[in-house]
Amino acid sequence: MKRLLLALVAASLPIAAVAPALAHTAVRETSIAENATLSASPESFTITFSAVTGLANVTLTNAAGREVALDYMPPRNRAASFTIPLPALAPGAYTISWRTMASDGHVMPGAVRFTVAG
């Protein structure tokens, strides 16, 4: 019985060692919290990931779903943190969304919704 248990533990070690490598990069922190109400228009939006990743694109939309122009082009270099300058925003609801590209080619979307109070 003891040998069988040891064999099962030994057989599971390679699987446990591979599991962290299969995990995808996650958002660690954003400078604007989900569903935040801000007293003034933010000057920028910073997103920090759990590992180095590529930022494929970023869009900002208003409550009507219309895109708000950003003066930002995602860099070609991979990084763990990106800061996107934002234009002056009128009072209202907004969504900033992004897509990252992992080194394995996996695309992961994300978004933060926030409101600028007037």
Q: What is the pLDDT of residue 103?
A: 76
* Residue 1 resides in a domain: no
3-state secondary structure of 27: strand
Q: What is the pLDDT of residue 118?
A: 74
Range of the domain at 67: 24-116
Q: What is the pLDDT of residue 4?
A: 46
How many structural domains is the chain composed of? 1
Distance from C-alpha of 84 to C-alpha of 46, rounded to nearest angstrom: 6
* Residue 16 resides in a domain: no
Distance from C-alpha of 30 to C-alpha of 46, rounded to nearest angstrom: 6
Q: What is the pLDDT of residue 37?
A: 98
* 73 CB neighbour count, 10 Å cutoff: 9
Walk along the chain (118 residues) and give the pLDDT tens digit of each residue. 555 444 444 444 444 443 444 456 889 999 999 999 999 999 999 999 999 999 999 999 999 999 999 999 999 999 999 999 999 999 999 999 999 987 777 889 999 999 999 7
Q: What is the pLDDT of residue 87?
A: 97
3-state secondary structure of 114: strand
CATH number, domain of 45, equals: 2.60.40.1220
Q: What is the pLDDT of residue 107?
A: 87
Q: Token pair for residue 39? A: 């007293």
